[in-house]
Amino acid sequence: MTLEHFLNEAISPWMRKEGTDSDIVLSSRIRLARNFANVMYPILGKEDELKKVHDFMKDTYNKTSFQDYTDFHFISTKNLSEIENQILIEKHLVSPSLTRYPQSAALISKNEQVSIMINEEDHLRIQLYFPGYQLADGLKQASQLDDWIEGKVDYAFDEKFGYLTSCPTNVGTGMRASVMMHLPALVITKQMSRMIPAINQFGLVVRGIYGEGSESLGNIFQISNQITLGKSEKDIVFDLASVVKQLIEQERLARSYITEQLGISLEDRIFRSYGTMKNARIIESKEAAKCISNVRLGIDLGIIENISKNILNELMTLTQPGFLQYYANRRLTPRERDVFRASLIRERLELEK
Amino acid sequence: MRVECQECQKRPATVYFKHVINGEKKEVRVCEVCAQEKGYMQSQDQGSSLHDLLTGIFNFDTYPFGTQVSDKKQIKELQCPNCKLTFSAFKEIGKFGCATCYETFSERLSPILRRVHAGNTAHAGKIPKRTGGNIQKKRQLEEYRIQMKKLIEEEAFEEAAILRDKIKALETQGSAKRGESEG
Q: State how far residue A93 is from chain B, nearest Cα, in angstroms.
A: 20
A278, pLDDT greater than 60 = yes
User: What pLDDT, on the 0 to 100 scale, is given for residue B55?
Assistant: 66
> For residue B2, what pLDDT is reported?
66
Q: Which residue in A156, A167, A230 is closest to B120 by CB distance? A: A230
Q: What is the mean pLDDT of residues B5-14?
A: 79
Question: Tell me: the pLDDT tens digits for A83-115?
Answer: 888 889 988 899 999 999 999 999 999 999 999
- Distance between CA atoms of B57 and B36, rounded to whole angstroms? 16
Record: contact B116-A162, CB cut-off 8 A: no
Q: Show contacts of B131-134: CB within 8 Å, 24+ apart.
A: B131/A150, B131/A154, B131/A155, B131/A157, B132/A157, B132/B179, B133/B175, B133/B176, B133/B177, B133/B178, B133/B179, B134/B176
Among A63-72, B72-81, B85-94, B164-173, the minimum mean pLDDT is found in B72-81
Q: Residue B69 above 60 pLDDT?
A: no
- With an 8 Å Cβ cutoff, is B182 touching chain A? yes
Q: What is the ipTM of this complex?
A: 0.85
Neighbours of B179 (CB within 10 A): 21
Max mean pLDDT among A12-26, A166-180, B81-95, B151-165 falls in: A166-180
Fill in the amino acid letter for A158: D
In a mutagenesis test of the A interface, which of B11, B86, B126, B134 is the best target, namely the one with the most A β-carbons within 10 Å? B126
In this predicted structure, the answer to whether residue B61 has a pLDDT above a threshold of 90 is: no
In chain B, which residue's Cα lies nearest the Cα of A172?
B123
Q: Which tens digit of pLDDT belongs to each residue from A229-265? A: 999 999 999 999 999 999 999 999 999 999 999 999 9
**Contacts with A236 from chain B: Cβ below 8 Å:** 125
What is d(CA A325, CA A10) in angstroms, rounded to the nearest whole number? Answer: 12
For residue B22, is pLDDT > 90?
Answer: no
**Is pLDDT of A56 > 70?**
yes
Q: Is B17 on the interface with A (CB under 8 A)?
A: no
Percent above pLDDT 70 for chain A: 97
Are A10 and A323 in contact by the 8 Å Cβ rule? The answer is: yes
Section B3-29 average pLDDT: 74
Angle in degrees, 0-180, between the axes of helices A192-201 and A233-262, rounded to the nearest 10: 170
B28 in reach of chain A (CB within 8 A): no
Which residues are CB-contacts of A326 (< 8 A; sequence separation ≥ 6)?
A6, A83, A84, A86, A87
pLDDT, one tens digit per residue, over A163-204 is 999 999 999 999 999 999 999 999 999 998 889 889 998 889
Least confident window among A343-347, B1-5, B114-118: B1-5
